[in-house]
Amino acid sequence: MKVVTTIEALTTEIQTAKQKQQTIGLVPTMGYLHEGHLTLAQAARAENDVVVMSIFVNPTQFGPHEDFASYPRDLPRDTALAESVGVDIVFAPSVEEMYPQDGGIRIAAGKQATILCGASRPGHFDGVLQVVAKLFHLTQPTRAYFGQKDAQQVAIIATMVRDFNFPIEMRVIPIVREEDGLAKSSRNVYLSESERQEAPAIYEALQLARDHFLATGDAASALIEAKSHIQARTQGSIDYIELLAYPDLTPITAATEQVLVAAAVYIGKTRLIDNCIFTVKEGL
Amino acid sequence: MKVVTTIEALTTEIQTAKQKQQTIGLVPTMGYLHEGHLTLAQAARAENDVVVMSIFVNPTQFGPHEDFASYPRDLPRDTALAESVGVDIVFAPSVEEMYPQDGGIRIAAGKQATILCGASRPGHFDGVLQVVAKLFHLTQPTRAYFGQKDAQQVAIIATMVRDFNFPIEMRVIPIVREEDGLAKSSRNVYLSESERQEAPAIYEALQLARDHFLATGDAASALIEAKSHIQARTQGSIDYIELLAYPDLTPITAATEQVLVAAAVYIGKTRLIDNCIFTVKEGL
C-alpha cells in the first residue's frame, strides 16, 4: 500500500492505473476509520483493480462554530486499518495541498440541503460537494463508495453525479446493524443500558413507515404510525422523521420511484440517525 | 464524421476512444460556426486523436430577457463546416437530453463573474460553468479548446478547472486579427467605413497599456494612456478597460504573474471587445 500526500504523486498513480485500463474504486473518508469505512473499502476491494481511500478532514464542510480543529485524526492507525482491508493507495493531503488558492467558485447544493440534517448546518453540503467533486476529478474513479447511513449526503452527491454527468458509478453500501436492528454508530457507546434497549425502536419505526406507505401510499399516516411507535417505545424525542422522494428529497408524488424514510432521534442526550431507502413498486 | 444527439451514443464513442488510449480534444460551441470556432477545431485536430465538437445553445446561460429563443441555429451548415476541418464527432443534444431533471445544484461563479462583461449579465457565467462541467464529464477530454476573445469566460473556466482539479488541459487559442490588428468578429460588418478605420485603436490601446505596465508596473497610468488613445483616435465610448490579474480577475499585486488587459468599446452602435494576456516577467 502506498500513502501519498500530494496531488502530483496521486496523479502519477492514477495515470498508471488508467494506462493499464484498470478500474478504480474510491472511498472518500475524513479518517479516524471505523467499521463503516472498512465495509466501504471491502466493497471497493471486491469490485475494482485499484482501491484509493482518501483521508482528509475537509475544512469547507465545517461551520465556523463546528469542530474542525478538534475533529479526531490518527493517520498511522488509519493507514494500518486501510492496509488491513486491501486498500492500494491512501491519499492524505494537507489542507494547503487541497486548497492552495481560491478563485471563489462554489458548488451550491439546492433545496435538498435545507432539510433533515442540513437544516441545522448551513453550507455543510456545499463544502461536501466541493471536496467530493475535487476528489472525483483527482482520482477519476470507476466507482465511488458511500455509506447509506448518511442518506442525505448520499442523495445530494448522487444528484450532483446525475445532474453534472460525472462518469462515475455511485455505490451506496447498506447500513451495518446490530442483531436487534440498531444501526451501528460510534455514538452507540454513549447510550445507557436502558437507552440501548430502547434504541432499536428507531429502525422498527422506519420499517413500519415503509410497510404502511407501501400498503396504502399514504405518507402522512405512515409517519404518524412511525412517530407513535417511537413515542410508545422510547423516552426519546424526535428531531425529525420524514418520507421523501429519493434522491431529490422532494415531497412524494405519484411519479416517485424511490423513497427515503429517515429519522433523527435523541435517545437521552445521544442523537441517533437511521434511514431506509425502498423502491415504491417493490411492495405494490 | 459522426453526429450524435444522445448522451448514450456519445458515451459509447468516448468509451471506445478511452479503451484505445486515444487522446480527446473537445471544442464546446453554441453552433452557428464562424472562423473562430474552426480555428479552435483545427488546433484540436492537430493535437488529439479524436476531436469532439459540441453544438448546444445552452439555455441556462441566457438571462430571461436575452435572446435564447432567437439565437441563430443551423445544424446542417455547422456539421458540414465541422467535417471540413476534421472533427470526428459532433455532439448536438436537445435541451431535454442535457437537462432531463433538476435537483437544484448549481455551480456559482464568484467575484470574477461580477465585473467586465459579467456586470450586465447576472447568472450568465453560472450557466456557462454548468454546461461546461457537464460537457467535460460527458466527453472526458484530454484537452479543451476555448477562444481568448472571450477572455472573462476563459478565465472563469480556467479557475474552475484549476480549483476543482478537472483532469483536463485548457488550451486558449489566440485572437485572430485583421491585418490592421482589429480582432475578427461577426459584428465587424456592422461598422461603417469610418468606424472600421477607427476600430484598430482598441487593440493599439491594449498594447499601449501592456507596454506601459511592463515598463513601469503602474496599472493606473497604463489605463489612462490606453483610454486617452481610444478617445483621441475614435468617436467611440468606452464601456470598460481594465488591467487585472489572470485568471483570478483580481486587482494586480506584486505577486501577479499573468495580466489580462481587456476592453469593451462602443464604436458607433457596435460594441467591440478585445483583450490581451501577458506574463509580467516577460517584459521585465
What pLDDT digit, counting tens, does each position of B77-107 carry? 999 999 999 999 999 999 999 999 999 999 9
Closest CB to A105: pick one of B19, B21, B160.
B160
Rounded Cα gap, residues A105 and B128, in angstroms:
12
Q: Which helix (H) or strand (E) holds B196?
A: helix B193-198
- The confidence band for B283, taking pLDDT boundaries of 50, 70 and 90, is very low
Give the neighbor-by-neighbor strand order of the sheet with B237-245: B237-245, B258-267, B270-279
Which residues in chain A have Cβ-Cβ distances shorter than 8 Å to B159? 103-105
At how many degrees (to 10) do helices B219-233 and B201-216 cross?
Answer: 160
- Residue A133 in contact with partner chain B when CB distance is under 8 A: yes
Checking if the pLDDT of B282 tops 80, the result is: no
The CATH number of B186-275 is which of 3.40.50.10320, 3.40.190.10, 3.30.1330.40, 3.30.1300.10? 3.30.1300.10
B177 to chain A, closest Cα gap in Å? 30
Count, residues in chain B: 284
In sequence order, what E strands does A67-194 have?
A: 89-91, 106-108, 143-147, 169-173
Hey, which residues 227-256 in chain B have their CB within 8 Å of chain A? Answer: 247-248
Every domain of chain A and the residues it spans: 2-173, 186-283
Question: Does residue A37 carry a catalytic annotation?
Answer: yes
Checking if the pLDDT of A284 tops 50, the result is: no
Its CATH architecture, for the domain B2-173, is 3-Layer(aba) Sandwich (3.40)
- The confidence band for A199, taking pLDDT boundaries of 50, 70 and 90, is very high
- Does A186-283 match A2-173 at the fold level? no
Rounded Cα gap, residues A263 and A276, in angstroms:
9
What are the cell numbers at B55?
453544438
Q: How many CB atoms lie within 10 A of CB A137?
A: 17
The CATH number of A186-283 is which of 3.20.20.80, 3.30.1300.10, 3.40.50.720, 3.40.50.300? 3.30.1300.10
- pLDDT (tens digit per residue) in A128-187: 999 999 999 999 999 999 999 999 999 999 999 999 999 999 999 999 999 999 999 878
Instruction: Report pLDDT for B127.
Output: 98
- pLDDT (tens digit per residue) in A82-132: 999 999 999 999 999 999 999 999 999 999 999 998 988 999 999 999 999
- Residue B93 in contact with partner chain A when CB distance is under 8 A: no
Stretch B129-144: mean pLDDT:
98
Q: Which residues of B are catalytic?
A: 37
Q: What percentage of chain A has pLDDT greater than the value 70? A: 99
Yes or no, beta carbons of A106 and B101 under 8 Å apart: no
Mutate to test the interface with B, among A95, A128, A165 (most CBs of B within 10 A): A165
Mutate to test the interface with B, among A14, A16, A105, A260 (most CBs of B within 10 A): A105
Closest CB to B248: pick one of A103, A111, A130.
A103
Average pLDDT taken over every residue of chain A: 95
Closest CB to A104: pick one of B105, B112, B137.
B112
